[in-house]
Amino acid sequence: MKELPNAFASRMQQQLDAGFQEFKHAIAANPPVSVRINSSKMEPPQGLQRVPWSSHGFYLPIRPLFTLDPLLHAGAYYVQEASSMFLEQALQQSVDLQQPLRVLDLCGAPGGKSTHLASLITADSLLVSNEVIRSRATILAENVAKWGSGNVVVTSNDPRDFGKLPEFFDVMVVDAPCSGEGMFRKDPKAMEEWSEENVKMCAQRQQRILTDVWSALKPGGALVYSTCTWNTSENEENMAWLAQQEEAENIKLRLDPSWGIVPGELEGIQGYRFYPHLLPGEGFFLTVLRKPGQAREAHSTGKRKKYKLALAGKKEKALIANWLLEPERFEWLQYGNYISAISANLFEDLDELYQQLYVIYAGIEVAEVIGKMIKPQHPLALSQHLNKNAFNTLSLTLEQALRYLRKEDINPGSSGTDKVLLQYQGLPLGWAKQIGNRMNNNYPKEWRIRMELPQVVEEDKLFTLGKYVI
């Protein structure tokens, strides 16, 4: 590993004092590997060390080729850095997660915090997951679809656009773009790009982001702010600036001393730092502010507004209603030839989002209408609300599953003329069309695995998290 930048090393030596040498050794070591499971799709793995501040986070003994585990593509788990899973504690200790909430994940890509939030909130809550960079927003939408919770809307907007939604959100999560000090171990480029000037630039950009979105948070709402840096200018100083400007209150969190998280206070702001020599995780900072005041109750004007969203016709709805569990819970929407579903209680909110923001994915993409035929869509296969009993299913071996995910031809020895739901270890992977003894692979081209497979694909030679589930 390269030498730490002089200015950074000097500051960290002051910050850590006697712990600096241990910190340097930790930065040069291999990072730990952790995953967070989707409890709606798989049981907790056995024999793995838990991430202590997360109910569904686990460490792995080695870093496997995750790309060659079908369970990852099925949305059974997400590969996520352990420190960032502390978001769970921040939410549990500052918000009533049993209530229906509107939550914004402002800087959502690639999807770690968004999928985590989706697992923490109730099914009748709404999560808006935003990413300003369009190419990254597409990756975010893919990971949200794989997670399959069905109450997430993916948008691609600048933070200032959320000013069109005054006092809309109960919770905002801002994992702010930062100078990346905490990523030096995982990403050597972060070290090359680091400079004191970049730290100042990031701090200013973070202030602009916070100013732009603050009005969209309800009075009494919680802002969870995080970075992967250790300096105070991007962390406590920015939060102290915001708290003073907006008269916001800092929420103090309870910590288990055994976790190794370092609390610190500056200018009245209590923040929480993660250092790699004190815990198995990367560099991270988090704090929580509460907006002053109480949320005002919404009063109906009695006038029916004009909706941007259109409902699916009764005929189409009747053909696909049994494709979801508890279909009566959902409102069925149609955009051109495509039909999607969203919890009925979220329809008004979703329509408002479509009126004000650029939405690229919402709810559950269920079907495409092609003439008189209705074709199930890929996100339906991965939805936690899928009714598998409505379809013919077929189980694949590991090799068949990987070849399917590479969008290759597979021949599992079946026959017929039906749409088939393909599964691996009981979890749906996607659709195929059986035509006699041949099977058309309907896996999305843009999602396919590009990594070459080993010459021999054997269950005991490749990693699959399913090995740890009994």
Q: What is the pLDDT of residue 155?
A: 98
Q: What is the pLDDT of residue 415?
A: 74
Task: Say whether 152 sits in a helix, a strand or coil.
Answer: strand
Q: What is the pLDDT of residue 412?
A: 82
Which residues of 81-199 form beta strands (DSSP E)? 102-105, 126-130, 152-155, 169-175
Which residues are 386's β-sheet partners?
Answer: 324
> How do the pLDDT tens digits run along the chain, 470 residues long?
678 999 999 999 999 999 999 999 999 999 999 999 999 999 999 999 999 999 999 999 999 999 999 999 999 999 999 999 999 999 999 999 999 999 999 999 999 999 999 999 999 999 999 999 999 999 999 999 999 999 999 999 999 999 999 999 999 999 999 999 999 998 888 999 999 999 999 999 999 999 999 999 999 999 999 999 999 999 999 999 999 999 999 999 999 999 999 999 999 999 999 999 999 999 999 999 999 998 776 544 445 578 999 999 999 999 999 999 999 999 999 999 999 999 999 999 999 999 999 999 999 999 999 988 899 999 999 999 999 999 999 999 999 999 999 999 898 877 777 899 999 999 999 999 988 888 999 999 999 999 999 887 887 788 999 889 85
Q: Is the separation of the CB atoms in 340 and 330 below 8 Å?
A: no
Which residues are 453's β-sheet partners?
Answer: none
For 148-184, b where at least 16 C-beta lie within 10 A, e where not — what string?
Answer: bbbbbbbbbbebebbeebebbbbbbbbbbebbbbbbb
Separation of CA 207 from chain center: 24
> Mind telling me the catalytic residues?
228
Q: Is the separation of the CB atoms in 448 and 467 below 8 Å?
A: no
- Of 58, 52, 53, 51, nearest to 37 by C-alpha is 58
Sequence letter at residue 296: R
* Structural domains of the chain, ranges and CATH numbers in brackets: 6-290 (3.40.50.150), 314-382 (3.10.450.720), 391-447 (2.30.130.60)
Q: Is the separation of the CB atoms in 221 and 34 below 8 Å?
A: no
Backbone angles phi, psi at 170, to 5 degrees: -80, -30
The CA distances from residue 416 to 110, 236, 433, 438, in Å, are 39, 63, 9, 9
Q: Is the separation of the CB atoms in 333 and 132 below 8 Å?
A: no
Q: Is the separation of the CB atoms in 180 and 227 below 8 Å?
A: no
Q: What is the pLDDT of residue 301?
A: 46
Which residues are 272's β-sheet partners?
Answer: 263, 286
